[in-house]
Chain A
Amino acid sequence: MIDFGYGLTPSSTLKIENVANPAFEELRQREPDVAKCIACGSCTASCSAGVFTEMSLRRVILSLQRGREKETLPMLQHCMLCGKCLLVCPRGINTRHLILSIGKVYKMEEDR
């Protein structure tokens, strides 16, 4: 093989050819309200951890839906479970409970 000094780069495109996402389905079974998120960002705006870190619950939920959990799950480790997002969510999602459920479904305890 020749080294040209440059080469092929992976694509950033979210390619959804096989739409199955069993982990998110499991989360939806356990926490049906997760589907109610409208990505308004109220949670991110009020997030205590978000002030100091890149934590954004809105982005976490979206990335789980798209099957790209690796990109955002580490964010959740910044969450202090203060529950401010629960107070501001216009769709009344129990965000605190949701975060705990995400931890269980995506086996986050082991990483901590």
Chain B
Amino acid sequence: MSQNVVVIGGGPAGIEASRRLRDLGYTPILIEKTPVLGGHLARWDRLFPEGIEARTVLDPMVADLDGIKYFTETEVSSINRLKDTWVVKLSNGLSAQVRAILLTTGFDLFKAEKKEEYGYGIYERVITNADLEDWFKSGAAPQFDAVNVIGFVHCVGSRDEKAGNRQCSKVCCVTAVKQACEIKEKFPDATVYCFYMDLRMFGRKYEDLYLKAQKDYGIRFVRGRVSEVSEDNDGHLFVKAEDTLFGKPLKIKMDLLVLMAGMAPAADNHQLARMVNIQTGEDGFYLPQSIIGSPCTSSREGIFFAGAATGPKTLPETLSEAASAALAIDRYLKTPQKK
């Protein structure tokens, strides 16, 4: 009988790592607390930089789970060390004794309402990147009378000490540009603004997307962090920023504002970290042994990481890290046990 490995978190990292482990001859036990596998990806409509549909990535992965025991709507109740194994008890009453656990708990979308000055949850025309993907995916647009001027606010809950998230969330810049182009397709006559601090177009074809957004879509880029959003008496928004390249305050009346909520550490990271006695960084993400050399290994024997659980990552980075984690676990399990 093949050896079990517990994988906690059924997003892209967890699914991909489970498939890899299975291919290496193990039986992964994949645990997901929500009713569906796929994590944030399951909610997303299209992916940067080329705009392919998210389901074309996720569906084949979810269709290929033979040999993987997976449990949705299931949480970890406890994890205990027993000699050189981990005993994992689940909320469904099952338990497993394994030598290796992989944490693929991903990230939480930053709660945009915490940036009180942007008025998410107070002003109806303020939505988030995730709301916009829901809209794109379901086709059920919010009912606003006219959508002529649209803004995207980068760095919402990223690079922000007051919001408790100092890190750059990495994917929001390019997501904003992608969504700005998409919304321009839906409303060709609309004027679309992106408010950014730095445009971090670090990946292959990202800069091309930015160029296309400028030239083909006429997206207007304003270098300035949005300072305040308010509402007039017919529900339209006033957005204030400094146009820093111009050196003057800027106030634009808008019909829709999209907040690029960043990646915050998953809320249950601390609890899981306590169960297996590992550290989270002061940013709340798990600390691997080395961010460069061994991003998938923890300071504790038999505990591994993959994906955004150790910090903001793109989807391809997450998938390749899942593969690396599977190899690291394989190597660990093949190393003879110390007596």
Q: A37-B214, A62-B245 are in contact. List 10 more A-B contacts (CB 8 A).
A: A13-B248, A13-B251, A14-B246, A14-B250, A19-B191, A39-B223, A59-B246, A65-B220, A66-B246, A68-B246
Partner of A62, one of B148, B149, B211, B246: B246
For A36, what are the chain B residues with a Cβ–Cβ distance below 8 Å?
A: 211, 214-215
Q: What residues make up the interface of A, taking CB atoms closer than 8 Å to B? A: 12-17, 19, 28, 32-33, 35-39, 58-59, 62-63, 65-66, 68, 91
Contact bitstring B73-113, A, C-beta under 8 A = 1, else 0: 00000000000000000000000000000000000000000
Residue interface bits B192-207, CB-to-A below 8 A is 1, else 0: 0000000100000000
CA distance A86 to B289 in the complex (A): 48
User: Nearest chain-A residue to B241 (Cβ)?
Assistant: A14
- Cβ contact within 8 Å between A63 and B251: no
A46 to chain B minimum Cβ distance, whole angstroms, is: 18
Residues of B within 8 A of A14 (CB): 243, 246, 248-251
Say how far B233's CB is from chain A's closest CB, in angstroms. 14
Contacting B250 at CB < 8 Å: which of A16, A32, A38, A39?
A16
Specify the chain A residue showing the minimal Cβ separation from B213.
Answer: A35
List, sorted by A's number, 11 A–B pairs whose CB atoms are closer than 8 Å. Answer: A12-B248, A13-B248, A14-B250, A19-B148, A19-B191, A32-B215, A33-B215, A35-B218, A36-B215, A68-B246, A91-B211
Interface majority SS (helix, strand, loop, mixed), chain A = mixed
Contacts of B148 in A (CB 8 A): 19
Are A28 and B218 CB-contacts (below 8 A) given A16-B251, A58-B245? yes
Q: Given the interface contacts A14-B251, A33-B215, A35-B215, does A66 sit within 8 Å of B243 by beta carbon?
A: yes
Residue of A nearest to B240 (CB): A13
Interface, chain B (partner A; CB < 8 A)? 148-149, 191, 199, 211, 214-215, 218, 220, 223, 243, 245-246, 248-253
A39 touches B245 (CB 8 A): yes
The B contact surface, by secondary structure, is strand
Which one of B214, B250, B252 has the greatest number of beta carbons of chain A within 10 Å?
A: B214
CA distance A68 to B245 in the complex (A): 13
In the bound complex, residues from chain B placing their C-beta under 8 Å from that of A35 are: 214-215, 218
- 6 A-B pairs with least C-beta separation: A13-B249, A19-B191, A16-B252, A17-B253, A14-B250, A35-B214
- Contact: B215 with A19, CB < 8 Å? no
Task: Specify which chain B residues have a CB less than 8 angstroms from the CB of A68 in the assembled complex.
Answer: 246
